[in-house]
Amino acid sequence: MTDGPPGSRSATALAELDTIAQALEERFKTSKTVLSFREYVELFAEDPKRHGRDAATYVRDMFDHYGTVAVDKPWGKLVRFRLFDLPWDGHEDARDMPLVGHEEIQGEIYRSLSNFVNEGRANRLVLMHGPNGSAKSTTAACILRALEHYSTLTEGALYRLHWVFPSRKTTRGSIGFGESQAERSTSASSWEDSYAHLPDSAIDARLQVEIRDHPLFLLPIPERRALLGKLYGAVGETPPAWLVSGQLSYKNQQVLEALLMSEEGNLKRALRHVQIERWTISRRYRQGAITLGPELSVDAGERQITADRSLAALPTALQATTLFEAHGEIIDAAGGVLEFSDLLKRPMEAFRYLQLTLETGEVSLPHQNVQTNVVMIGSANEVHLNAFREHPEFPSFRGRFELVPVPYLRSWVDEQRIYDVQIAPYTRKHVAPHATRVAAEFAVMTRLAKPSPDRYPGELAKIVKELSIEQKLDLYGLGRVPEALDSDAKKVLKTGLGAVYRENEASVDYEGRDGASPRTMRTVLLNAAQHPEYTCLSPFAVLAELDELCKETSEYDWLRVKAQAGGYHDTKEMRAIVRRRLLDHIEEEMRAASGLVDETRYKELFDRYVTHVSVWVKGETIRNPHTGDYEKADERLMREVEGLIGVTQKNDDHRKSLISFIAAWAIDHPGQRAVNEVVFPELLRKLQEAVFAERRKPIALLVRDLVRILREKKDAKEKGEERAPDKDLGEARRREATAMLERLRKMGYEEDSALDAASAVLRARFHELVV
């Protein structure tokens, strides 16, 4: 907007304000925010299934509304509910963190909700249990946030009722309670006389109702049953039992009875006072989405409200009635979800009532029993759950709990996503490549358990017995089977990967129950970002912090577990593994950034090899692109590649197994084109290394030159002085090193992080080549 005189800017602002006000008024009208009872019944009749849902059905429908997406994990195909990705716009709230992974937990919660719907109400508490920091609270927060958004949509509209009493100026006589017989006989008994839309100036009192009774509960049960039968029958459905037999809360029942008494049973005149209001779920305002901590508090109670001065304008007939207002978290959460955070930290006496509440669907208060219409979820850590299992009353509670284990993530790929999205941005520094990957790989390895061969059949038992922790890390993270296995063993392990992943899931001591938590790794990463030797979040700073972490044996149980063969529970071996893998990645990047190795060369060579192997296995011929003649497969080419990739078995057997593996991959990935670098990443890596071996020394010298240039610039910068370039390098070598740096920048490096990486790989891998 161009600048103008102050007067014109003010006029523009006021015009914009008018536009905003008009838009808000239009949204208010179209969203049907306030309705009379008759208008609500008309709305209900248009879509009874939508407006007749209990809390369990509402939450289940919310899951369905946001939809699902199929995800491929190494251990199988899973269904992910998109609500856990927070797919709507405007979720900048710091509490709004998407849930990474945990598709199995999402499915278990959805299964429980579907069971509640089939049973007619939420009669059990979904208790997520797992180690601290395993995303139990994040799972619940995503559900609550999704409910907030869903309730603002037409598909998720929710309605509640209040009572309004007009002033004497609005109606002749004494507002519905004191009209004479003559006035009542001459007054029209029409639905059109509703007080729901009266302006505030025409209303003496508005009685808020804290319990969100369904508006149709105002109708007597026999007549309501007949009405619902017709409305649901018109859409081929059966009305839900809760809506047919549900009853008004005590306060609403008292008001309705007083009005019917005053109106001599005229329901139309009594319901004139009903105002139906649309409401939305809100965590901030504690409506339909409540998180209750482990404090010693009462979750439901009541207080007398008749003496409240703000209600002095109520009609005499109601002022003489003792009204009680229910309050508490169970009341506030009605229609939505109540989350009990760390439920089992409470003494049992503090939640013993839940057993009866879940069984009966009611919570008992001194003057009334309140029907509960809420989905209850909770969280607990394993220490408290184990103690609870030993309690003599646990068996009786067990029937009212849906226990859902929530282990730590066991895929380093998923774990790294948590660090990249939820931790790295808060370091407020450059994040060097591989910093979060190093942390993720270490964290996941601390959680993995050595497989028990006796739980597997024949050949698979032999394979899992020899699985090292690094091999299991890649098996879960990338679906990569150990290269040392022969082709048949690879197929067996691939097929049995799902069984390996789920080996302990039914056990109390399930895999992922112990190990480094994301919270612990968050501290590691934040401390690494402040390491005095590095100007960024460096993977080498992360390694240094991991060394410090592993000294704290008195703080973490997983550091005191006895090491097992294969690297399991051996944190020293784990750190050696992540360090070696880090150097492998850096070496590969330096090779690619050098420009001395054509990355497409070995890929094209491997593609040609696979093509010729396919022709050889089928006994066919292939067209020579140079001569145009059809020839047999090139035996020399195949033997050359097989020598480079180190084929140890007979060439014939290797070639046949290669084609069989492609066929098996195609079956597992229907509709997808087989890309060699996806199907055979390990073979391609071996070929890549063989090609790289030819250029290893020139690359090492180039890395040395890069280190000299970057260190020279860093020293000059720290001393605040200009320094002449090192003449020993020469212009050509300096130009090549600078080009290498530019390629590294495209890989995510900056000068300091490139110096750290190049120096490390030079010392560890190239030292003997440049001495």
* 233, 244, 327, 345 from 225: Cα distances, Å: 12, 5, 30, 44
Contacts with 287 (C-beta within 8 Å, 6 or more apart), sequence order: 279, 280, 281, 332, 336
Please check the confidence at residue 613 and state whether its pLDDT lies above 90: no
Distance CA 638, CA 66 (A): 51
Handedness of CA 128, 134, 140, 142 (dihedral sign): negative
User: Are 189 and 28 contacting, i.e. CB atoms less than 8 angstroms apart?
Assistant: no
Contacts with 310 (C-beta within 8 Å, 6 or more apart), sequence order: none
Q: What is the mean pLDDT of residues 552-567?
A: 94
Single-letter residue type at 5: P
3-state secondary structure of 290: strand
Candidates 44, 37, 36; CA nearest to 232 is 44
User: Among 258-262, 415-419, 690-694, which stretch is predicted with the lowest mean pLDDT?
Assistant: 690-694
Q: Using the 8-state DSSP alphabet, how is residue 310 labeled?
A: G
Which residues in 453-488 are b (16+ Cβ under 10 Å) and which e?
A: eeebeeebeebbeebbbbbbbbbbbeeebbeebebe
Contacts with 43 (C-beta within 8 Å, 6 or more apart), sequence order: 32, 35, 51
Distance CA 444, CA 517 (A): 9
3-state secondary structure of 130: strand
CB atoms closer than 10 angstroms to residue 121: 21
Residue 68: strand pairing partners: 81
Please check the confidence at residue 178 and state whether its pLDDT lies above 50: no
3-state secondary structure of 262: helix
Distance CA 712, CA 734 (A): 12
* 74, 455, 488, 578, 657 from 459: Cα distances, Å: 20, 12, 10, 30, 18
What is the CB-side half-sphere exposure of residue 637 using CA atoms within 13 A? 16
Q: What is the mean pLDDT of residues 249-275?
A: 89
Candidates 345, 462, 476; CA nearest to 407 is 476
Residue-wise pLDDT for 439-498, tens only, equals 999 999 999 999 999 999 989 999 999 999 999 999 999 999 998 888 788 889 999 999
User: Among 20-34, 176-190, 252-266, 389-403, which stretch is predicted with the lowest mean pLDDT?
Assistant: 176-190
User: Are 596 and 702 contacting, i.e. CB atoms less than 8 angstroms apart?
Assistant: yes
Return mean pLDDT, the chain: 86
Distance CA 378, CA 675 (A): 45
Question: Which stretches within 411-566 are classed as H helix?
Answer: 412-422, 435-447, 458-465, 469-478, 487-501, 518-529, 539-549
Of residues 501 and 367, more confidence is placed in 501
Which tokens belong to 602? 């070995």
Please check the confidence at residue 185 and state whether its pLDDT lies above 60: no
User: Are 288 and 53 contacting, i.e. CB atoms less than 8 angstroms apart?
Assistant: no
Give pTM, 2 decimals.
0.85
Most confident of 485-494, 574-583, 728-737: 574-583
Single-letter residue type at 224: R
What is the CB-side half-sphere exposure of residue 250 using CA atoms within 13 A? 18
Please check the confidence at residue 435 and state whether its pLDDT lies above 50: yes
